[in-house]
Amino acid sequence: MRWILVFIFLYLIPLIVLFKNYKKFSRACIYGCTYVVLATTIVISNMYISGLKQIENDSNHSMVMNYRELYTSSLDINHTEEDLSKIKQYRTNIRDIEDIALEPIKECSTYATDIKTYLGDLDKVKKDIEKAKYMCERVIEIYDEMEVPELSQPEYTQVLKDCTVCMKEAYEIKYKALDETYKVVNYKDTTCIVNIQKYIKQSDQKINDFKKEISELENEIKNK
């Protein structure tokens, strides 16, 4: 339809007007041929220039898309490295907090199962248990107030929050185990030993869950 209009307005109408204005047919033919050649040249030139612009636009669009893909890919790599770096630092922070109570708790680990060995120095045993309980409370408070680093995806950050809760719960259970240990030492209630073993097992499971979730998160980020 477009080319029909071009033909009518660019060729047909001007030629009709031209032949009407010239009485001598030969002269009208000369001018008509000249006009057709010029008009055709103009049309072809416009088509050529339009084609060049289209090629240029397509080329520019392709370059923009390629740059966008490269830029997006670069961002993904940067996010991956940044996330993994933050998780590594988060692990270090968790261990540093854990170390506050870990050594005092280890010192009390044998009191419940081998109290006879320490009967000669019960005051020291009680002080050690009280110290371990206090340190355990401090760790729980720190985990409770701890802010996790923001990762590139909200679901990644949520995993870190869940892991922090996991560690907090692990030390809440350790505190219960220490409380039961104190009962064994102070009241000679050996029935509490079963509870101590149960709490220790539950606490270890929480820490294992923490390690598993962190490792799975790191692998997910590496393989995305």
Write the CATH number of the domain with boundaries 79-222. 1.20.120
Q: How many CB atoms lie within 10 A of CB 156?
A: 21
On whether the CB atoms of residues 58 and 29 are closer than 8 A, the answer is no
* The overall pTM is greater than 0.95: no
Can you give the pLDDT at residue 166? 96
Q: Is 103 helix (H, G, I), strand (E, B) or coil?
A: helix
Dihedral sign of CA atoms 155, 99, 101, 205 in order: positive
Q: What whole-number distance in Å separates Cα of residue 215 and Cα of residue 223?
A: 12
Q: Poorest-confidence range of 54-68, 84-98, 113-127, 147-161?
A: 54-68
Tallying the residues shown for the chain, one arrives at: 224
Q: What whole-number distance in Å separates Cα of residue 93 and Cα of residue 22?
A: 98
pLDDT, one tens digit per residue, over 178-217 is 999 888 888 877 788 889 889 999 999 999 999 999 999 9
Residues whose CB falls within 8 Å of the CB of residue 84, separated by 6 or more in sequence, listed in order: 218, 221, 222
Can you give the pLDDT at residue 207? 95
Question: Where along the chain do its domains lie?
Answer: 2-67, 79-222
- Mean pLDDT of all residues belonging to the chain: 78
Q: Is 8 helix (H, G, I), strand (E, B) or coil?
A: helix
Can you give the pLDDT at residue 75? 46
Can you give the pLDDT at residue 122? 81
